[in-house]
Structure 1
Amino acid sequence: MTSLPFNSKMFSSGNPSIDSDGKTLYFASNMPGSIGGTDIWKVTINNDGTYGNPENLGNKINTVENENFPFIADNNVLYFSSNGLTGFGGFDIFSVDLNKNGMPNNLGKPVNTEKNDFAFSYNKETNIAFLSSNRSGKDHIYSAVPICKMEILTVVKNAKTKTTLSDARVVILDAMGATLDTQMSNAKGEVSYLVDCNKAYSVKFFKDGFVSKTIPVAKTNEAKVTIEASIEPIEVVVTETEIILKPIYFEFNKSNITSQGAAELDKLVYVMSQNDKLIIFAKSHTDSRGTDEYNLKLSERRAEATVQYIVSKGISADRISGKGFGESEPKVNCTADCTFAEHAINRRSEFLIIKK
């Protein structure tokens, strides 16, 4: 056993911890240059096994009181105990990411208590931490399983003007669709949620006069995920007989609702949700390609898909009905010499007001 060169009978040095590279040793000492009673220091370990000069970690970490029990994790996060930083009482355990030169964070309850909590260590492979505490009245060693937390920051914007939107209702849901929290966006259009890492979420955005939107959040262990939600303003024309949207086009020979179609149908959902006396009849049309019989059946499927989509958004089924008209009512009467664009225009849905 060899005493390290910076040891002295004039002060104490102890509780060493070496980083994963084996190049830096962290320790606690009250050697000259300390800010408080005991401070956290570090010293470089040279390739030849010699040591550099000890360096105080400074007043971001050390206080006029006592900091002790450093432990440097494999990800270069330093854990230590302090009775000088703001805590629950006695010694609390803090962490600081040395990669980011950040400020120390209190690990919070249940790791910290009003008693003395110290000597924290963490094994990343087993995902188990150990600490010592006198919370029971005597010093005991405790184990703990860290809970990974992440921030989901959402920014709500007007898709047309690109300006941020305040007072938008933002709802976060878990993977099963259960609502976890609801907040209103601030003046910057922001809402922040603190959630568990490595879990899937979805975030829904609502604001009067805008189409609602849902954005999934994939599993990740990133510390922060930022989501920019651009929501479309409701731009519809409501006449005495019809609700006029941008054309709801269908792909050739298909009846499924496209993403563009869904965005327009969401506007119809909004208008109907604001006026519960509106009853709508959806007319679905095809282009002129295919036989009359086939096109009639195809338009029926399109009308059914349109109605089902509206109902799936919470509109009562007795307020929306539909019928297919095949190619019998073309928007552009071009028959066999239609261009690709003209065929697309004829594959459409229209929304007539039956009752107001």
Structure 2
Amino acid sequence: MIKKILLPAVLILISLGTIFAQERLVNKANEKYEDYSFSPAIDIYQKVLEKGYVSSDLLKKLGNSYYFNADYQQAAETYKRLVDEYESEVGPEYYFRYAQTLRTLGDYDRSDAMMSKFSDLTADDNRAVKYKSDTDYLAEIEKNSGRYELQPFEYNSVYSEFAPTFYKEGLIFSSDRDTGNLARYRHTWNSKDFLDLYKINADSVSENVVTKMDRTINTRFHESTSAITKDGNTIYFTRNNLKEGKFVKDDKGIIRLKIFRATVQDGEWASIEELPFNSDAYSVANPALGPNERMLYFASDMPGSFGESDIFRVTINSDGTFGTPENLGPNINTASRETFPYVTSKEILYFSSDGHVGLGGLDIFATKIKNNRFTDPIFNVGRSVNSKLDDFTFIFNEETREGYFASNREEGTGADDIYSFVENTPLVFDCFQQISGTVRDKISNEVLVGATVKVIDENNEEILTTITDSEGNYSLTIDCNQGNFVRALTEGYVPAEEYLGTSDGKPRIMDFYLERDTVTAGFGDDLAKLLQLSTIYFDLNKYNIRPDAEVEIQKVIAAMDKYPSLKIKVNSHTDSRGVDAYNLWLSQKRADSTVEYMISKGITADRLMGEGYGETRLVNECGNGVRCASDKHQLNRRSEFIILE
């Protein structure tokens, strides 16, 4: 009996011991994960999984650890298990990352299904907006593909090489190829050696020899992405947050990245200083100089960021000080990663992102900087520069059409490899659209000669202006890569405006119909003349409303609808032919029929009067006994619209 009691107790103790051991391992893995030590965290999480312990939190962190280490195959498998087994506990970001990993595997249908779920859960996320607005993204990417001829960088190794920078006749690049480092100097993010900066064919002892930059630049920890001035005398580079040779961690225990600047003194790099907008609380990395070297672009997760890393820029003042960093905005930055900026001599911004829709992992995108703004469409540069995996640190010489970038694609030599390329077909950034039309009075339909037509951008700045010709026509050519407002205006009228978004550049006809801002008239004025209406005529001996007259009366009705206090007296007339008494009766019938027509169209009777004047108010010499042509007599058979109030 005692044995029967002891056996279950022992089993319970063993089971509890196993659970406690697993929880300790999970806690240890979580500590590594929170410390960005993803490689050891992966090892521990996998051990726990092998022992049969699983939870949604474990799968989330394991999937993220693979994701941030660019092991997309393992990340996809982990996210799949998370979605399949814990769907109710899966937040939108995991659908997004799962979709990204599926793209790297070429499973675009499944990826699109996950992006659709992500979009349904986060309708306001700009990544969802971009995805929904470009559902045929693969076809768009194909349009830009095949423009580059690629070659491997002959100095790649079995380690990582990336972040090329033009320097003199050669390059500076980043690598972890120095295997002499002790294991304690390896980064726990990916268990790789720390990075240093190297140079080739620039200040080397001989040609085609890779040499490490001197110790004033390189430390035993990370130095990577760099930017250097054209004269070669100033370099900006990324380094771990160090003080007196020791790591500095933030409140969460994370070692951040900072940008440093060094200058050449007596042929050596000296005066190394960190930039003033660095912080112990966030990372600042991946510097790039604008074409005039007065603007520094960089990546950061500083306050004001939209996502995991955003691209910023800051002015470099003439005295070497800096302005205030500026986020490039939601057209460039998303809730994911935007990083590794590069700006060409023609102000084309290239950058890497996994927030914009691409082929998988980080893709390289390009956009034109216009008027110091980033409102143009963003182009995926296409295959073969972009692949299913990560593609980044793109640089390009627009004069030679040659450049370099890095990728971790499967056919590479090492973990990351540099590739050289020649661009055979440039991206087309400029888009022109012809817009034309006519400006008219809304009520009278008369053309408005000399009316002004303006093009105003989304920042309310006037870009173009023209005036209508003698026929009320205008024509303008606008930039269809950005949204514009087209506005027509002239004195005495309320301006009219229409918005044109980005387009394919096809010609567009835009007619404007302007309303008068007020009826500047007084008692006794003829409204028809003020509105520039055609005269309302009647046929001989008839008082019915002719079709041509109906069109003009409708314009009077429109004016009375617009100005509810307006009251009108309809004065009708005849020509001189016929008996005077008959003509007086006929003109009254014409006045009455006009008033009745207007009442039938919604104008109240208390706003209308009608009076016939027969032949007493002729407009020409065609009186009794005067021989006149029929068209002259026609001019007297008319109605007028006299303002009473």
TM-score (norm 1): 0.42
TM-score (norm 2): 0.24
- Please identify which structure carries the higher strand content: 1
- Please identify which structure carries the higher helix content: 2
